[in-house]
Structure 1
Amino acid sequence: MSADIEEIVYASVKESEMFALQVDESTDIGGKAQLSAFIRYIHDVKIVDQFFCCKELEETATGNDIFATLSEYIKSVGLSWQSCVGICTDGAPAMIGSIKGFVSLVKKENSSVITTHCFLHREALVAKTIGNDLKSVLEKVVKMVNFIKSRPLKTRLFAKLCEEVEAKHVNLLLYTEVRWLSRGKVLSRVYELQEEMLTFFTLEQQEEFCDLLADDTWSAKLSYLVDVFEHLNKVNSSMQGKSENILSSTDKINTLREKLRLWVGRVKEGNLDMFPHAAAATSGREIISIISEHLEVLEKQLQYYFPDICTENYDWIRNPFVAPVSTQSQLTGGLTLTEEEQLVEMRNDRNLKLLHMQLPLDEFWVQMKAKYPQVAKKALVILIQFSTSYLCELGFSVLANIKTNKRARLQTLEEEMRVCLSTIQPNLKRICQSHQAHVSH
Structure 2
Amino acid sequence: LLPSKNLRSTQTEHFNANYPPESDQRKQKIANMITSYKRSVSTISKSTSAQESATAASLQVSWNLAKAKKPFADGELMKSCAVAMVSEVLRHDEKQKKTVVELLKQVPLSANTATQRVEVLAADCFSHLLTDSKKAEAISLAIDSSCDRTDMEQLSVFARFFDGKTFREELLCLLPLTGRTTGEIIFTELTQFFVKNGLDVGKIVSIVTDGAPSMVGQHKGLVGRLSAVKPALLAFHCIIHKSVLCAKLCGKMKETMDTVTRLVNFVCESSSLQHGLFRAMLDEMSAEHKDLLLHSDVHWLSKGRVLERVCDLRDELASFLSTLQSQKAQEFKMFLIDNDMMGYVFFLCDIMSHLNCLSLQLQGKNHTLRTCTRQLKKTFRGESCTFHRFECTPKLSSDILLFLRQPFSVSADGQWTAEAKKLWPSIDEAALQMEVLEMGTSDVLKAQHRDVGVNDFWINMVPQARFKNTRAIAMLLLTMFPSTYICESSYSSMNSIKNQDRNRLSNAHLDQCLRIVTTEYKPDIRSIASSQCCHFSH
Deviation at 1:338, TM superposition (A): 0.6
The match for 2:342 is 219
The match for 2:479 is 384
The match for 1:200 is 320
Greater mean deviation of Cα atoms: 185-194 or 426-435 = 426-435
How do 1:307-322 and structure 2 match up within 5 A?
Answer: 310-322=397-409
How do 1:38-437 and structure 2 match up within 5 A?
Answer: 38-128=158-248, 130-150=249-269, 151-205=271-325, 206-258=329-381, 260=383, 299=386, 302=389, 310-322=397-409, 325-326=411-412, 330-332=415-417, 334-335=419-420, 336-367=429-460, 368=462, 369-411=464-506, 412-437=509-534
C-alpha contact (below 8 Å) 1:313/1:333 kept by paired residues: no
Alignment CA distance shift 1:13-1:330 (3 Å):
same
C-alpha contact (below 8 Å) 1:23/1:392 kept by paired residues: yes
The secondary structure found in structure 2 opposite 1:405 is coil
Q: In structure 1, what is the Cα distance between the partners aligned to 2:124 and 2:456?
A: 26
Q: In structure 1, what is the Cα distance between the partners aligned to 2:387 and 2:530?
A: 62
The secondary structure found in structure 2 opposite 1:406 is coil
C-alpha contact (below 8 Å) 1:2/1:419 kept by paired residues: yes
The alignment covers a number of residue pairs equal to 402
> Structure 1: any 5+ residue segments left out of the alignment?
262-297
The secondary structure found in structure 1 opposite 2:436 is helix
Instruction: Give percent identity, aligned residues only.
Output: 28
C-alpha contact (below 8 Å) 2:439/2:445 kept by paired residues: yes
Q: In structure 2, what is the Cα distance between the partners aligned to 1:228 and 1:352?
A: 42
The secondary structure found in structure 1 opposite 2:306 is helix
Alignment CA distance shift 1:204-1:260 (3 Å):
farther
Alignment CA distance shift 1:140-1:85 (3 Å):
same
**TM-score of the pair, normalised by structure 2:** 0.71
Alignment CA distance shift 1:382-1:161 (3 Å):
same
C-alpha contact (below 8 Å) 2:242/2:390 kept by paired residues: no
Q: In structure 2, what is the Cα distance between the partners aligned to 1:358 and 1:254?
A: 23
Deviation at 1:92, TM superposition (A): 0.4
Kindly provide the amino acid, as one letter, of the partner of residue 339 in structure 2. D
Q: In structure 2, what is the Cα distance between the partners aligned to 1:339 and 1:55?
A: 40
Q: In structure 2, what is the Cα distance between the partners aligned to 1:180 and 1:300?
A: 19
Greater mean deviation of Cα atoms: 100-109 or 356-365 = 356-365
C-alpha contact (below 8 Å) 2:234/2:395 kept by paired residues: no
C-alpha contact (below 8 Å) 1:250/1:310 kept by paired residues: no
C-alpha contact (below 8 Å) 2:373/2:391 kept by paired residues: no
Q: In structure 2, what is the Cα distance between the partners aligned to 1:260 and 1:329?
A: 30
Deviation at 1:346, TM superposition (A): 2.1
Alignment CA distance shift 1:405-1:155 (3 Å):
same
Larger Rg: 2
The secondary structure found in structure 2 opposite 1:116 is strand
Q: In structure 2, what is the Cα distance between the partners aligned to 1:353 and 1:301?
A: 31
The match for 1:287 is none
Kindly provide the amino acid, as one letter, of the partner of residue 397 in structure 1. S
Q: In structure 2, what is the Cα distance between the partners aligned to 1:138 and 1:152?
A: 23
Q: In structure 1, what is the Cα distance between the partners aligned to 2:453 and 2:381?
A: 27
The secondary structure found in structure 1 opposite 2:167 is strand
Aligned CA RMSD, in angstroms, stands at 2.2
The secondary structure found in structure 1 opposite 2:419 is coil
> Structure 2: any 5+ residue segments left out of the alignment?
1-120, 421-428
